[in-house]
Amino acid sequence: MAQMNAKYLGSLRCEAHHLDSGSVILTDAPKDNQGNGEKFSPTDLLCTSLATCKLTIMGIKARALEIDMSGVSIQITKIMTSAPPRRVAEVILDFNWNGLLEKITPEQLESLKRSAMSCPVALSLHPEIKKTIHW
């Protein structure tokens, strides 16, 4: 079990605390929804959570396969609905393998991809949110 708390600071900014670690995240409303866009928005964090969850689960699999995944990254694109209700319509994840593909077998790559598809964030998102992955 993890515990966090969040507080509204005013001017469409919030502060969230991870109680076990003391880490702090500030959020702002995005520019397209009355905000300054100076920090991650809550929906930015949702999309970033999907990407980092996939990387983490892949990292667990890579560790078991004795593969160094350091440097693998994901470019994240968030697309919001154009009609109400306002929500995330699609998350596009573009992988940058940072040279890893030249160092692993096709079977290892498939194992990493399969593990990524079982990340808890992906399994928790509403099925209407389109998840496009460019491996």
CATH class of 41-134: alpha beta
CB 7 within 8 A of CB 25: no
Q: Which residues neighbour 84 within 8 Å (Cβ) at sequence distance 6 or greater?
A: none
- Distance separating alpha carbons of residues 58 and 52, to the nearest angstrom: 10
Element (H, E) at 62: helix 42-64
pLDDT tens-digit series, residues 56-113: 999 999 999 999 999 999 999 999 999 999 999 999 999 999 999 999 999 999 999 9
pLDDT at 58: 98
Tokens of 81: 């609905």
The model scores a pTM over 0.85? yes
Find out whether 58 and 114 touch, Cβ atoms under 8 Å. Answer: no
* Contact call for residues 29 and 12 (beta carbons, < 8 A): yes
Parse the chain into domains and list their residue ranges: 1-40, 41-134
Q: pLDDT digits over 2-55, tens only? A: 999 999 999 999 999 999 999 999 999 999 899 899 999 999 999 999 999 999
- E strands along the chain, which residues? 4-10, 13-18, 24-28, 73-80, 88-96, 130-134
Task: From residue 73, give the alpha-carbon distance in Å to each of 16, 36, 94.
Answer: 25, 27, 8
Give the pLDDT confidence of 125-134 residue by residue, as tens digits: 999 999 999 9
